Amino acid sequence: MFQALVTEDLGERKYQTTLKKRELADLHEGDLLIEVQYSSLNYKDALSANGNPGVTRTFPHTPGIDAVGVVKVSSSADFAEGDAVIVTGYDLGMETHGGLAEYIRVPAGWALPLPEGLSARDAMILGTAGLTAGLCVSKLLQAGAVAEEGKVIVTGATGGVGSVAVALLAKLGFEVVASTSKPEHGEMLTTLGAAEIIDRKLLSEPQRKPLLAQQWQNAVDCVGGDTLNNLLKSMGSSGSVACCGLVASADLPATVMPFIIRDVNLLGVDSVFISLQKKQAIWQKFATEWKLDGLEALTTEITLDQVPAYLDKLVQGQNIGRTLVRIK
């Protein structure tokens, strides 16, 4: 028997998530049985716990798209009992019971060795949000982003992805502008390295002009919709926007003008179904040259029994930074 958060379908589009006892036999089939040490909260976990059919359709279900822990049983030649591993993305926490539990069972192809130099705790402070931020920054660097060429703006900067992106870009020497709807949390963003903080309203209102004044050279956008459109219109020549979010909208009411007049790049970023090799490269960077020392500034640590209340905060847009879940 072990403890797990369990979301149940009560009917009439009502769902309830509580801490319950489960048996190992309740878990899905997989090569690795992992004892989870830490998980973290992401918006997708809140969607799963609220019965969003685009995330989870089968109940009862344990959410949690992130997990770090120790292999207890392995039928894979790639892992042995006692190995420390990270599991993020793929189907974890969607239709496969997720990391908000003391145990998970997953295919070996979803797991990565925890890199030397990265603790289990820090790995889950980063989690999928940190991985996504790292992929965004990697895409910008591959597209030619250079700190000396101009400002980089991060939208949704107090969220999980945004806050890690601010910290990482600042570490790499960029002048970071943080766009947020929560200016009262500006001190956190300044601590993470933001040089300037602006209200999200400056970017979220629709603009009719096909191009706006050039203000930024690069961007990480966690918002989408009109915000993304306005970013594209206001990028400097040959600038790039790494796009990874849609909290405002999945629509992009844009024109081709930024692309053909200013040579702007729109870079899509996925952190869920990309290859293990790409994930491993980012985790290795976080363990070495991208190691972030100020993670505590963006972290709230909770226990499993506190998770339902924090999932509600996520749905209501009240979550700040990263929420780390200590499993034991």
Per the prediction, the chain carries an average pLDDT of 95
**CA 169 – CA 153 distance, rounded (Å):** 10
**What number is the average pLDDT over the span 117-126?**
97
* DSSP 8-state secondary structure symbol assigned to residue 116: T
pLDDT 10s digits, 157-206:
999 999 999 999 999 999 999 999 888 888 999 999 999 999 999 999 99
pLDDT 10s digits, 227-237:
999 999 999 99
| Fold classification of 2-114+294-326 (topology level) | Quinone Oxidoreductase; Chain A, domain 1 (3.90.180)
Residues making up the chain, counted from first to last: 328
Backbone angles phi, psi at 279, to 5 degrees: -65, -45
What does CATH list as the number for 129-268? 3.40.50.720
With a cut of 90, say whether residue 26 has pLDDT above it: yes
pTM: 0.95
Confidence of residue 244 (pLDDT cuts 50, 70, 90): very high
Of the candidates 2, 1, 3, the one whose C-alpha atom is nearest the C-alpha of residue 307 is: 3
| Residue 73 CB coordination number (10 Å) | 15
Of the candidates 228, 151, 245, the one whose C-alpha atom is nearest the C-alpha of residue 193 is: 151
Confidence of residue 281 (pLDDT cuts 50, 70, 90): very high
Of the candidates 21, 94, 106, the one whose C-alpha atom is nearest the C-alpha of residue 68 is: 106
* DSSP 8-state secondary structure symbol assigned to residue 115: P
**CA 313 – CA 43 distance, rounded (Å):** 10
Confidence of residue 315 (pLDDT cuts 50, 70, 90): confident
**What number is the average pLDDT over the span 286-295?**
95
Q: Are strands 235-243 and 265-268 parallel, antiparallel or unpaired?
A: parallel
Domain ranges of the chain: 2-114+294-326, 129-268
